[in-house]
Amino acid sequence: MGIKERVDRVYSSNNNQELTKNYDIWADEYEQDLIGDSDYLSPEKVADFVLKYVSKSCKILDAGSGTGLAGKVLYDYDYTNLVAIDISEGMLNKARQKNIYTELYKQVLGETLDFPTNFFDAVICVGVFTYNHAPSSAFDELIRITKPEGYIIFTLRPDFYEINQYFQTKMTALESSSQWQFLERGEKYYSHPNTNSDTILEVWTYQVISLMDNG
Ligand SMILES: C[S@@+](CC[C@H](N)C(=O)[O-])C[C@H]1O[C@@H](n2cnc3c(N)ncnc32)[C@H](O)[C@@H]1O
């Protein structure tokens, strides 16, 4: 089974239980598929925006960390205050072996997150907002746990964004209600350039609005 088939399998998960199982099964081969065979670009692309906005001492949540590929790139850029959450214990176990996160937890985006309000300086979410993965409602909790003026940086497939009204509506509504402000939508890139996968992604950056600005 190649990366395209494995991606299709996780995309076709019918519920969180199936999704978790599919990632638990994939955990051992995930990195070989993503970096060994496909030159996965998202971690570096997201890091470009983190480097632009977030200082090195900041506390960053890697939400949907997987095996820690994005966290590792940040760590190598001297971001060492990193926390990971993921729905899959199998993926988290791989991430734990990297020794780059101060804490790792099994938590589910779309449900209440077990962190205090205004806790993180920034959140990254790489490859997690997509077909049958984390829902757009997860943004509410990500905003709650991010400090005012902190950053939420995530990847989205433009095709998914265009056809998924939930994401467009939610992202716009959060802006209209002054929960966050849009900063940037990065250029389109092929996430797996060395494979037959034609997945295109963009990095979106928002800043959480401070309570004072919010009245
Ligand atoms: C495509 S992988 C990306 C992993 C990592 N961020 C990377 O870039 O390599 C998606 C990850 O999101 C996790 N995930 C999917 N839905 C989730 C949810 N609702 N809550 C938490 N994690 C989720 C999966 O278990 C998987 O590890």
What pLDDT does 192 receive? 80
Q: Nearest C-alpha to atom 27 of ligand 1 is from which residue? A: 66
Per-residue model confidence as pLDDT tens digits over 11-26: 899 999 999 999 999 9
Per-residue model confidence as pLDDT tens digits over 118-132: 999 999 999 999 989
pLDDT band with cut points at 50, 70 and 90 for residue 213:
low
Is 88 within 8 Å of 20 (Cβ atoms)?
yes
Phi-psi region of 118 (alpha: psi -120 to 50; beta: other; left: phi over 0): left
| Secondary structure E strands in the chain | 60-63, 82-86, 103-106, 120-125, 146-156, 180-185, 189-190, 200-208
Kindly list the structural domains of the chain, giving each domain's residue range(s) and its CATH number in brackets, ordered by start: 3-208 (3.40.50.150)
Who wins on pLDDT, 111 or 35? 111
Q: Nearest C-alpha to atom 4 of ligand 1 is from which residue? A: 66
pLDDT band with cut points at 50, 70 and 90 for residue 74:
very high
Expressed in angstroms and rounded, the spacing between residue 118 Cα and the centre of ligand 1 is 23
What pLDDT does 196 receive? 66
Average pLDDT, the chain: 93
Distance CA 78, CA 7 (A): 30
Q: Which of 86, 132, 140 for a ligand 1 pocket mutation test, highest count of atoms within 8 Å of Cβ?
A: 86
Ligand 1: which atom is nearest the Cα of residue 69?
A: 9
Lowest-confidence region among 17-21, 109-113, 160-164, 167-171: 160-164
